[in-house]
């Protein structure tokens, strides 16, 4: 079984990324989130691929605006969450936490990570060591907490932190430079973080994406995954707080940064 091919492409005004996932053997191609159908179609055409599947992480418009048009033009099957209060038009197969579905002979596990939104689903392919994290986990950051609360978001991040460290993490936005600038304010003595910040600056200076990352890198450098770190706790003067409380304080500071 060959490794799935991956293509990252930008779209929209919110520094969004879509991802195409292609199996050369079966010719199936999944589009992870489509906020812009034309961008998705152009990326597929450039590779000579035909989109057969659409995976939706959550209901926000910059992830769903292109779904119906893309479905109409390709006949693709749409998989994603679909809560009553935040319906996503076009979803054919509703998934929830722990559900597993097949893509080109690989199992894809749905991981429910509420916090940014209540319907957020991440797609994990253990055979490929791939995670599509939507707006839950970013490179050096995490999503704003819009529909849940900080405790909920922290529990969601713990689910992702427990995956194998070699997991390749695709997130949905190019927010890394801003995340990096904030991260050093709460974790200033982290040598690995400073090295990563310079790497991020170099990549963005060359207009290169900072995505994907790896879970190992995020565990070493992303402050939102490190509220148990003694240096961060000392810097925040929160040595006796719970991990959830430290996470909430880091999220609060980022919101005000």
Catalogue the active-site residues: 58, 60, 62-63, 116, 135, 173
Task: Give the DSSP H or E segment for 89.
Answer: none
Distance CA(215)–CA(162), nearest Å, equals 9
DSSP state for residue 173 in the 8-state scheme: B
Tell me if 131 sits within 8 A of 170, measured CB to CB: yes
Does the CA dihedral 50-82-97-100 come out positive or negative? negative
Is 85 buried (19+), middle (13-18) or exposed (0-12) by CB count in 10 A? exposed
**Considering only CA atoms, which of 153, 103, 157 is closest in space to residue 130?**
103
Q: In what order do the strands lie in the sheet with 168-171?
A: 100-103, 106-112, 121-125, 130-134, 168-171, 213-214
């Amino acid at each position: 079984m060959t490794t799935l091919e991956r293509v990252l492409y930008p779209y929209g005004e919110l520094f969004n990324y879509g991802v195409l996932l292609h199996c050369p053997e079966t010719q199936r191609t999944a589009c992870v989130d489509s906020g812009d159908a034309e961008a998705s179609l152009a990326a597929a055409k450039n590779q000579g691929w035909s989109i057969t599947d659409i995976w939706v992480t959550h209901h926000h418009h910059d992830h769903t605006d292109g779904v119906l048009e893309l479905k109409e033009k390709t006949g693709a099957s749409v998989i994603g969450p679909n809560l009553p209060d935040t319906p996503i038009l076009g979803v054919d197969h509703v998934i929830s936490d722990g559900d597993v579905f097949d893509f080109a002979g690989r199992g894809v596990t749905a991981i429910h990570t509420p916090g940014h939104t209540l319907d957020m689903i991440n797609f994990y392919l253990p055979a490929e060591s791939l995670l599509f994290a939507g707006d839950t986990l970013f490179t050096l950051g995490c999503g704003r907490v819009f529909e849940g609360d900080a405790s909920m978001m922290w529990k969601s991040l713990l689910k992702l932190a427990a995956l194998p460290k070699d997991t390749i993490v695709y997130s949905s936005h190019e927010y890394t430079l801003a995340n990096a600038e904030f991260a050093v304010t709460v974790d200033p003595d982290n040598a690995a973080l400073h090295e990563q910040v310079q790497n991020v600056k170099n990549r963005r200076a060359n207009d290169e994406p900072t995505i994907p990352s790896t879970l190992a890198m995020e565990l070493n450098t992303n402050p939102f995954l490190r509220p148990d770190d003694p240096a961060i706790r000392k810097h925040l003067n929160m040595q006796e707080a719970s991990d959830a409380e430290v996470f909430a304080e880091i999220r609060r500071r980022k919101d005000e940064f």
